[in-house]
Amino acid sequence: MKQFVFCLLLCVFNFITLRMDAQQDSQYAQYMYNTVAVNPAYAGSRGVTSAFLLHRNQWVGIDGAPVTHVFSINKPVFNTYFGYGISFVNDRIGVSDSNTISADVSYSVSTSENAKLSFGIKASVNLLSVDYNRLTIRDPNDIVLSQQNAINNQFSPNVGVGIYWHTSKNYIGISVPNFLETKRYDDDISTTAKDKMHYYFIAGSVFDVSEDWQFKPAMMTKLVQGAPLQTDFSANFLFSQKFTFGAAYRLNAAVTGLVGFQVNESWQIGYAYDTDASRLAHYNSGTHELFLRFELLRKPKKVVSPRFF
């Protein structure tokens, strides 16, 4: 086990030493509940059919700011070592509308009586549309903008991998959701961009503080070429296995408040509010993120203790 953790940390160090064009993957405050979006090895790891729905409205008050919708469902293949899932992500940013459909497959092996190591692969397709007519053009004689052609469902396939080790109280993972660096906005002017590989490192733990209280620190690091290293730290508390509250900090970017409620054994709802920790805070009224998770439990088996992840 020590050798495994050491190898993971070594990989993270190697990622950090790479030369880093911009972060392009969707951003989430409640990443600990949406792990399958960044790591396909998570699929089926909860041991139940788990459906997840998220809405994120970023930088409210700024025209064209990102709005993200996520739907995913994943489950184990019972009596096997496999898990699988599908997900749909819609990102609207300015004049662009991006839709990504992904399929995840995982394979798990036991590393001890209470721990599993999962390997996952993600296959995805992205459809990108850009409508330049939605721009507010101050100079109608602008040659560059007047010659832009709309992009309609530009198709891009991709593939990614992940590793995820977990117990009922701890987890750690490394992933690259998209390996292919796809060229986008391919026109004859100057608006050519390239999707870059994103490297993710996640980790977290759950501590029993008392009979009624649990504490969970977690972190996620995202690295992409050409952008600053992004790291999120969060700390959540669970009271009476029902109420969740906490806070998170994204280095040099945002401070987040987190709340959640376990309605019953199957339903969980959560909300997060981000406030910018940069000068951008003067131009928006924060970011709202809401999620709903439903889990189809196998009777009479129940989830023994909420994992937070």
Q: How far are the Cα atoms of 28, 158, 260 from residue 127, in angstroms, in the given order? A: 21, 12, 33
Residue 192: φ, ψ to 5°: -100, 130
What is residue 91's three-state secondary structure? Answer: strand
Residues 79, 295, 52, 253, CA torsion sign: negative
CATH topology of domain 2-131+151-180+198-296: Porin (2.40.160)
Q: How confident is the model at residue 11 (pLDDT cuts 50, 70, 90)?
A: very low
Name the nearest CA neighbour of 108 among 72, 84, 73, 74.
84
Q: List the helix and strand counts (H, then E) for the chain.
A: 2, 17
pLDDT digits (tens, 9 = 90+) for 221-267: 999 887 788 999 999 999 998 999 999 999 888 999 999 999 998 99
Percent of the chain at pLDDT > 90 equals 63
Name the range with the highest mean pLDDT among 46-55, 123-132, 136-145.
46-55
87: left (phi over 0), alpha (psi -120 to 50) or beta: beta
Q: How confident is the model at residue 184 (pLDDT cuts 50, 70, 90)?
A: low
First to last CA, the chain: 21
Reported pTM: 0.84
pLDDT of 165 strictly over 80: yes
Tokens of 262: 């376990």
Bridge partners of 57, per DSSP, are: 67, 288
Q: How confident is the model at residue 182 (pLDDT cuts 50, 70, 90)?
A: confident
pLDDT of 178 strictly over 60: yes
Residues 199, 45, 37, 213, CA torsion sign: negative
Domain-by-domain residue ranges, the chain? 2-131+151-180+198-296
- What is the rounded CA–CA span in Å between residue 219 and residue 215? 14
The residue ranges of DSSP E strands in 167-299, in sequence order, are 170-176, 183-184, 193-194, 198-205, 207-208, 213-224, 230-239, 243-250, 254-262, 267-276, 287-296
Q: Residue range 65-71: average pLDDT?
A: 95
Q: Are 174 and 200 in contact (CB under 8 A)?
A: yes
Q: Are 78 and 132 in contact (CB under 8 A)?
A: no
Bridge partners of 90, per DSSP, are: 69, 99
